[in-house]
Amino acid sequence: MARQTRRNAKAREAASSSDDDATSQTVMNGKGNGSAHLSSEVPDSTDKENIFLFWPNQIGYARIVLAFASLYYMPLHPRTCSFLYSVSCLLDALDGYAARYFEQSTRFGAVLDMVTDRCTTSCLLVFLSSAFPRWAIVFQGLIALDFSSHYMHMYATLVVGGVDSSHKNIDKSQSWLLNLYYTNKGVLFTFCALNELFFIALYLLSFSSPWVSPHLVKSVEETSGTHIDPGSQLNSSILSQLFPDPFSAAALEMARANKMDSFVPWALVVISFPIMFLKQVINGIQLVKASRWLADVDVKNRKAKGLPRAKKAA
């Protein structure tokens, strides 16, 4: 009897050892639960992607550098400023293409792109406010409309559609115009490009056309007592009255600017104005639609909470 008991004990020990070996082998092969299951779900730190170094985002950083450079040259160097500013705007189309090509579309990149657009345009409008003080309230209104409409639209999209929604995913039932604007890449590029082109052309006219910038010749008339026809080019004698040193960098830049034929900037203004105006109309519609979407969400939330509460009978 004791001998049989010892045999049974040895058999149980052998079976237990076999089960432990099988379990260990299963865990090592990653086919079991427990630690193996956890290790399969925990991402390897070496495989973590650096979103900040994605190609579209690097293009976004380049846009910011070019925008700052254009602001540096903005007061006195219209040609250099316009070139840098235009390249920064054109890269806006390239980063979207890179995001699709490299499959690197990110929320950070989308927000970076929008913030860069809003800030660069606003900085140019601030300069135009100083160049055309009589129209400052118009440029200030455009800045306010641009920021408020895009912020309200972005916030409404997140509230209505959730965190995975995009501000460009607008259904036709919500607004056919916004749907066309955001889903058609050709329409979006045309509106954005001509909108910026209009403001760049106005910027060039502030240097090249005394018809819209009479301060270019006003100080000369006050000091010399002579009349200067609007649109006339500045020569060295006029520069000597404007600047202590007619060969200084500012004087030479002013001379180059006023040798610029204002016909091209005027043509660009006329061509781009209709699209610029429609872009502001779209901003207004975007602001109104987003406000209504948020209001509808508020009404539903209040009804879910039983609000407004029924007044108690006196």
**Catalytic site positions:** 117
Residue 33 per-residue DSSP state: S
Close Cβ partners of 26 (under 8 Å, ≥ 6 residues apart): 32, 36
**Closest by Cα among 30, 26, 51 to 41:** 30
The C-alpha atoms of residue 314 and residue 312 are separated, in whole angstroms, by 6
Residue 264 per-residue DSSP state: H
Residue 260 per-residue DSSP state: S
The C-alpha atoms of residue 91 and residue 94 are separated, in whole angstroms, by 5
**Closest by Cα among 177, 179, 160, 185 to 290:** 160
The C-alpha atoms of residue 149 and residue 43 are separated, in whole angstroms, by 39
177 class by beta-carbon count within 10 Å (0-12 exposed, 13-18 middle, 19+ buried): middle
Query: 253 to each of 109, 243, 280, how far by Cα in Å?
Result: 37, 12, 33
Within 13 Å, how many C-alpha atoms sit on residue 279's CB side? 22
